[in-house]
Structure 1
Amino acid sequence: MRRRFVVPVLLGVAALVAGAAAGPRAMPPEEQLITAPGYRAQPAYADNGQEAADLRWLASGTVPGSGTPWQDMARWALVDVHAHLEMNGTVSAGPGGPWDHFWPRDGSFAAVALSRSGHPSDAASVLDRLARLEFDPAVGFQARYAMDGSPLTDRPRQSDGCGWVLWAIAEVRRDDDAGVPPSASELRDRCVRTLTGLVDGGRRLPPPSPDYWEVPVTRTSLGTVAPMLAGLAAAGRDYAATGDLEASSRTHATVARLATTVERGMGPGYERFGDDGGLDASLVVLLPPFTAEDDLPAGMVRAVEKALAHYQREASQPAGGVAPGVQWLKPGGASWTPQTALVALSDAAGGHGHAADLRLAWLDAHRTAHGSLPEKVTRTGRPAGPAPLVWTASLVVLTLAELDGTSASAAS
């Protein structure tokens, strides 16, 4: 059972919310680190029996990156994911306050990290909870849910959620069938129907929807359509793995049409809105491990790889990580650990182990005093924002599994 935390809401701090408008940048004060009272204050435990429980849980699975310089980071990342997992399958994004909610995106990554580290029953609990959330067949999931699973309607629905969920189901199944609950089949079918409708069978881009930036948009972003494309491709493979060849063929045909539509509507630059908006980290979702060989046209993959190289340079921040996008409007010069870890995962899956190691070294060097991965690193190199951030912790586990060669994509 997840340990419950309470944390005060600090003024001026929110998860992935855009800030000041473009113009001369006056550097604001650097953000502070936020963690929950009662959580680890150092890389040690209070004498309350929790250390023994965590060690038993870790020993029941595996720790990707064991025997490497990143072993300690991986162990704490797994402990942090598990600590934020409720018995009902919801996973909070971070340490209380505004982050004490369940995002389908973050939950999908946590499910794959739990599966990849040999904890299929925990992964199954997350997927089962996703299957039981309130859902609009025309759009999909809410942006986020309360920790009891009830819907939160203070933000618009985010139609990319089904893409992340479809990818997670396929990844978990490739690890271990035991990680996929019976409810996941209906969830897969429902998400495929919803996404297929949103893109008219692949013939159009989906309507505008907030994506992981969680800001209003009036045009379709790559951050919305890329997870849809990757998720549908994963669903096509998952249908084949479960013997439904007709559904697999039908879904792959949708993917082929949608890839052509994305190539036409978002290429050749693949900026946030196709021809403008700047490059952002959602480029990663069009590459392994989110897509497989032959999912996308070769020319499209080459263009995305080129754009991703430009993004890494142009989004670099003073402390050494990256911003979510090159036109990210929040001032202050902070590096964002989820996007930095996404790039590391892409490097690992693409066979660029040295580049992934450099990103992992940076993440490791900027953990908190209690060993957790924060959401941000300030321009002067201090951990900031909520810590731990479950999305980043999950991404680090997945990156290390790729480097170990034990991931589903590495094994394919």
Structure 2
Amino acid sequence: MPGDDARTARRVRRAALCAAVATGALVAAALPVTFPAGASLADARAAAPEGAPARYATVELDQAGVGIAPDGSVVEIPVGEPATFLPGTRVLDPRAGNFAAVLDGRETAPGLAAARALAAEQRAWLGSGTVPGGDGPYADLARTALLDLRTLVLPGGAAVAGWSPYWRYVWPRDAAFAAVALARTGHVDDAVAVLGFLARAQESDGGFEARYLPDGSGPPDDRARQTDGRGWAMWAAGEVLAELPAADAGTRLLRRTVALELAPLVARALDGTVALLGSDGLPPASPDYWERSEHRLTLGTAAPLVAGLEQAADVLAAAGDDERAATARQAADAARTATVAAFAPGGFARYAEGGSRDAATAFVLAPFWGTPAPGAHDAWLASAVEMRRPLGLAPAGEWRDDGITWTPQTSLYAWVAAENGDDEAARAWLDTIATHRTSVGAIPEKVLADGSPAAVAPLSWSSANVLLALDALER
């Protein structure tokens, strides 16, 4: 469970912003674009067309979800093939009539006894932490998201984005969110393992490649490095450490032990970030979560570095590295000032020059920046309106209008809404995700305009965000 200081800080943030959202503006932004403010998601779904309009895109669903075979291996659940799990787990039941079909004909030597042992282990793991929202309407959503997230964290801490071959890599960004979700649900050891993988993969200059092979052997291709990775790694380290209270001698010792384990990752990222920042306090242009080449600095690169530098100070101070902690505070202040000066005049749009906003507008609010940037909340409300799609949000306002909802951004905004006092909007976005999962309850990357789940399922980033949103609603 989180420390008293962390819990109090979140409550203060939420209370301070409740008045700002009392008008219901954010709830209106959470509703489908074709419905007026005040409508409900139930109204929206009832009026949804039977099929997607011709202008809307169709994308195949890669798989229905993931499961654990009796031999402990991760397997894809084929679309259209019902899967039978042992109760309360993601372990496949070898007694099911279609067991061989789910395994796509692959032989597995262990049988029911081995499957039951794996299932008992999963249940024990769930019981060792918390399932946010576990006694309410989101109980199944939370439990399956948590089990899927654990399934996608491989031995050694490799948190893969998904199990489709095209997604079976570790993105530092996705892994950072997975680590925070694991920590906030009481699985700090797993969270530290995820960050340990990032520490081993980290480049000598403190930065990261865009993604890594899960065996730790390096990147799978030559795509450009993404600067925001070092910010997300530092941010996640601080958030994970915040889940360890320092209330007594025993927990203080545990907190110190974890801080010392995280410190090398954070110190390298800090030193590299300080070297990277220019005289204006800003980093150079880099690809960000859009995964495309950039010649102009984006908010999606600058804002995570500020978040990371703020958290780096806490981790390094807890590890006893006071000199670097002071450096982190100074760098965070300078980067924050520079980011606000560059992006606030344009309403925290993707580029400093203004224009369309994207999901990075959320990164200058809680739970990312300790103090929200001036004007950030209004900009975030505007971004939610710009990004609306029939059933949720797209990654950006200027994103192609193909009717597709992206669950990473929809779940991210649910979390940010919950952290900033608008529980109603958070639940509206969570309802969208809960309603449009796959046949086995996995959260897909995309939801089509007709409500069909699409692309990879589950997606670890979306699963993590859902858990974080539900956790925030309970705090």
TM-score (norm 1): 0.85
Choose 244-253 or 212-221, whichever is displaced more: 244-253
Question: Bigger shift: 254-263 or 43-52?
Answer: 43-52
Distance 2:438 2:119 in 1: 18
1:107-163, Cα deviation, whole Å (9 max, x unpaired): 1111111111111221121111111114141x7100000011122242100010011
What is the CA–CA distance in structure 1 between the aligned matches of 2:281 and 2:357, rounded to whole Å? Answer: 21
1:214 Cα offset (Å): 0.2
Q: 1:98 aligns with which of 166, 181, 185?
A: 166
Residue 325 (structure 1) aligned to one of 388, 396, 402: 396
Aligned residue number for residue 305 of structure 1? 377
1:82-130: CA deviation from partner (whole Å, max 9, x where unpaired): 1111111101101221100011111111111111111122112111111
Contact 1:81 1:110 in 2 (8 A): yes
1:255 aligns with 2:332: yes
Tell me, yes or no, if the aligned pair for 2:227 and 2:286 is still in contact at 8 Å.
yes
Give how far 1:43 is off.
7.2
Q: CA deviation at 1:64?
A: 1.3
1:36-65 deviation line (CA, Å, top 9, x unaligned): 684455574132435433222211221111
Which residue identity does 1:132 align to in structure 2? Answer: R
Q: State whether structure 2 residue 59 is matched by structure 1 residue 31.
A: yes
The aligned counterpart of 2:410 is 340
CA separation of 1:42 and 1:274: change in aligned 2, threshold 3 A = farther
DSSP 3-state at the match of 2:353: coil
Partner of 1:291: 369
Matches within 5 A, 1:51-66: 51-66=119-134
How many Å separate the matches in 2 of 1:115 and 1:159? Answer: 24
| One-letter code aligned to 2:61 | L
AA aligned opposite 1:379: A
Question: What is the alpha-carbon distance in structure 2 between the residues aligned to residue 107 and residue 286 of structure 1?
Answer: 20
Aligned equivalents of 1:154, 1:382: Cα separation in 2:
34
1:295-330 CA-partner distances (Å, limit 9, x unpaired): x6xxxx242111110111111001x2101000124x
Alignment check: 8 A CA contact 1:109 1:391 kept:
yes
Letter in 2 for 1:225: A
User: What percentage of aligned pairs have identical amino acids?
Assistant: 38
Judge conservation of contact 2:56–2:404 (CA < 8 Å) in 1.
no
Map residues 162-241 of structure 1 onto 2, 5 A cutoff.
162-176=230-244, 177=254, 180=258, 182-200=260-278, 203-241=280-318
Shift of 1:171: 0.8
Name the structure 2 match of 1:159. Answer: 227
Q: 1:124 aligns with which of 192, 202, 226?
A: 192
State the distance in 2 between where 1:26 and 1:198 align.
47
1:109 maps to what in 2? Answer: 177
1:360 corresponds to which residue? 430
Distance 2:416 2:83 in 1: 29
**What secondary structure is seen at the aligned counterpart in 2 of 1:33?**
coil
Q: Secondary structure at the match of 1:289?
A: coil
Q: Secondary structure at the match of 1:306?
A: helix
Aligned counterpart for 2:453 among listed residues 375, 383, 404: 383
CA contact (8 A) 1:113 1:395 kept: yes
Displacement, 1:338? 0.5
In the other structure, the counterpart of 1:77 is 145
CA distance in 2, matches of 1:291, 1:181: 20
Tell me the TM-score normalized by structure 2.
Answer: 0.74
Which of 126, 141, 146 matches 2:213?
146
How many pairs does the alignment contain?
371
C-alpha spacing 1:164/1:134, structure 2 compared with 1 (3 Å): closer
Aligned counterpart, 1:10: none
Instruction: Check conservation: 2:267, 2:316, Cα contact below 8 A.
Output: no
- Change in Cα spacing, 1:155 to 1:114, as seen in structure 2 (3 Å) is same
Residues 103 and 143 in structure 1, CA contact (< 8 A), matched pair in contact too:
yes
Aligned with residue 439 of structure 2, among 369, 382, 393: 369
- Distance (Å, rounded) in 1 between the aligned partners of 2:82 and 2:330: 52
**Cα distance between partner residues in 1 of 2:125 and 2:82:** 20
The 1:29–1:255 alpha-carbon spacing in structure 2 relative to 1, beyond 3 Å, is: closer
Matched to 2:126, the amino acid is: L
**Unmatched tracts of structure 2, length 5 or more:** 1-52, 67-74, 86-91, 94-114, 245-253
- Of 380-389 and 39-48, the range deviating more from structure 2: 39-48
Higher mean C-alpha displacement, 209-218 vs 110-119: 110-119
**SS of equivalent to 1:97:** coil
Distance 2:186 2:339 in 1: 36
Structure (1 or 2) with the larger CA radius of gyration: 2
| Cα contact 1:134–1:150 (8 A) shared by 2 | no
Contact 1:101 1:147 in 2 (8 A): yes
8 Å CA contact 1:123, 1:180 repeated in 2: no
**Secondary structure of 1:218's partner?**
coil
The one-letter amino acid paired with 2:377 is E
